[in-house]
Amino acid sequence: MRWCPNSVLHLLRSVRLRSCTRRGRTRSLYFNSLTDSDVVFDSIFEPVFWTVDYVTRWFGVVFVCLVVILTSSILVIAYVVLLPLILSTYSPAWIAWHVCYGHWNLIMIAFHYYKAAKTSPGYSPTEKNDTPFVSVCKKCIIPKPARTHHCGICNRCILKMDHHCPWLNNCVGHLNHRYFFSFCLFMTLGCVYCSISGRNLFLEAYNALERYKHLDVEKPGVPVTGMGLLIGILPPGQTPAPPYTFKDKMIHKSIIYMWVLTSTVGVALGALTIWHAVLISRGETSIERHINSKETKRMAKWGKEYKNPFNYGKLNNWKVFFGVEKKSHWVTRVLLPSGHAPHGDGLKWDVFPVKKDLIPV
């Protein structure tokens, strides 16, 4: 991204050009067909865009650390506090269910988050090639294939760009879109699992803390020692020490913390996951959703109907997205960790309705 003084200089040259044109003078070399209202708007607000991109790029590391710390804190509570309770109170069948499901969910979350953060989203080629393109990027000054968009934070053109995710400190594009969605899905399932299974423990912990507060408000008695402790005699007006410890308080607070955090994240991330599931069913990305919406309104004015050229049908969109080429892949590539490459190279796309069923499973 160019530093803002260049944009301001370009804006001033544009204004000067237009004033000169009105006076009948010859146009300078600074003028081109791309100098329009959008260019002027981008030039004025580019300092703001640059600041937002810079802050987002820097805070990406903080967000990744925050995800790791919060997830690790839930794991510590699950192993230190909840697992002993499960082993001592649940039946063998329920113990097997919680242990198997919990560890499978944990593996899926860790695998897909790591792959989403570390996998390159896919970049537009910078060298000359025979790949068909639809436009030229104004920032990179290189050809852009279909579904490719420029990311101001990464400062590169991303293949099939969906958005830049600060929680991954990475763009979500053609090569890691599946990892991102799978992480959101399994993290939501894990949060819902913790929220539902820990509801009774949360209520018990909350009620216990309320009782502790009432005991703290009451005037504590003098501890009984010596012979009085042996014979159980208390002096008049004195009460025994409260029947709880610091460890009890921390256990109950940990359970409340886990339930509140998982419930909140489950609701917020669940809504995001549902939204991306809808987009995948339509064969769209987040950016394409806005573009297609504008195109639909534009063509409606002409009495025409716009059809997304990359929509192959709901089921087939999911097959293409997950890379399902045979029935067993629903298990090995969707329900189990898999590092297989996505369908296609991200440079060329089959267009509807030339080939409706790309993967006949």
Which residue range is the domain that position 172 belongs to? 69-221+244-335
Domain assignment of residue 8, yes or no:
no
Q: Backbone dihedral region of 30: left (phi > 0), alpha (psi from -120 to 50 degrees) or beta?
A: alpha
The pLDDT of residue 306: 92
Residue 295 has pLDDT above 80, yes or no: yes
The pLDDT of residue 93: 93
The pLDDT of residue 4: 44
Q: Backbone dihedral region of 127: left (phi > 0), alpha (psi from -120 to 50 degrees) or beta?
A: beta
CB contact set of 178 (below 8 Å; sequence gap of 6+) = 321, 322, 323, 342
Residue 356 has pLDDT above 60, yes or no: no
More confident residue, 23 or 37: 37
Confidence of residue 354 (pLDDT cuts 50, 70, 90): very low
Q: Residue 182: which of 341, 285, 333, 73 has the closest Cα? A: 333
How many CB atoms within 10 Å of residue 49? 14
Q: Residue 195: which of 251, 249, 257 has the closest Cα? A: 257
Residue 218 has pLDDT above 80, yes or no: no
The pLDDT of residue 7: 47
What is the per-residue pLDDT across 133-165, written as a single tens digit (0 to 9) for each? 888 888 888 889 999 999 988 889 999 999 999
The pLDDT of residue 107: 97
What is the per-residue pLDDT across 180-208, written as a single tens digit (0 to 9) for each? 999 999 999 999 999 999 999 999 999 98
Give the span between the Cα atoms of 114 and 118, in whole angstroms.
6
Domain assignment of residue 213, yes or no:
yes
Average pLDDT on 31-42 reads 56
Residue 179 has pLDDT above 90, yes or no: yes
Residue 56 has pLDDT above 70, yes or no: no
Mean pLDDT of the chain: 82
Residue 92 has pLDDT above 90, yes or no: yes
Q: Whole-prediction pTM value? A: 0.79
What is the per-residue pLDDT across 223-268, written as a single tens digit (0 to 9) for each? 545 444 444 444 555 555 556 678 888 999 999 999 999 999 999 9
Contact 263, 203 (CB under 8 A): no
Domain assignment of residue 76, yes or no:
yes
CB contact set of 5 (below 8 Å; sequence gap of 6+) = none
Name the 3-class secondary structure at 150: strand
The pLDDT of residue 96: 94
Domain assignment of residue 227, yes or no:
no
Confidence of residue 328 (pLDDT cuts 50, 70, 90): very high
Strands 170-172 and 163-165 turn out to be antiparallel
Average pLDDT on 320-347 reads 94
More confident residue, 49 or 331: 331
Contact 154, 165 (CB under 8 A): no
Give the span between the Cα atoms of 102 and 90, in whole angstroms.
15
Contact 173, 160 (CB under 8 A): yes
Domain assignment of residue 126, yes or no:
yes
Q: Residue 119: which of 207, 68, 70, 178 has the closest Cα? A: 178
Give the span between the Cα atoms of 178 and 34, in whole angstroms.
36
Confidence of residue 127 (pLDDT cuts 50, 70, 90): confident
Residue 217 has pLDDT above 80, yes or no: no
Q: Of 96-105, 230-239, 347-356, which one has max mean pLDDT?
A: 96-105
Give the span between the Cα atoms of 246 and 204, in whole angstroms.
17
Q: Is 20 a catalytic residue?
A: no
Domain assignment of residue 288, yes or no:
yes
% of the chain with per-residue pLDDT over 70: 73
Confidence of residue 20 (pLDDT cuts 50, 70, 90): very low
Contact 178, 285 (CB under 8 A): no
215-224, 288-297, 336-345: range with lowest mean pLDDT: 215-224
% of the chain with per-residue pLDDT over 90: 56
Average pLDDT on 39-43 reads 60
Burial pattern 24-40, b for ≥16 Cβ within 10 A else e, equals: eeeeeeeeeeebeeebe
Domain assignment of residue 11, yes or no:
no
Domain assignment of residue 104, yes or no:
yes
* C-alpha dist (Å) from residue 157 to 161, 174, 341, 346: 8, 12, 20, 12
Contact 324, 318 (CB under 8 A): yes
CA 203-71-121 angle, to 5 degrees, is: 140
Q: Which of 165, 171, 184, 191 is catalytic?
A: 165
Based on the structure, what is the number of domains in the chain? 1
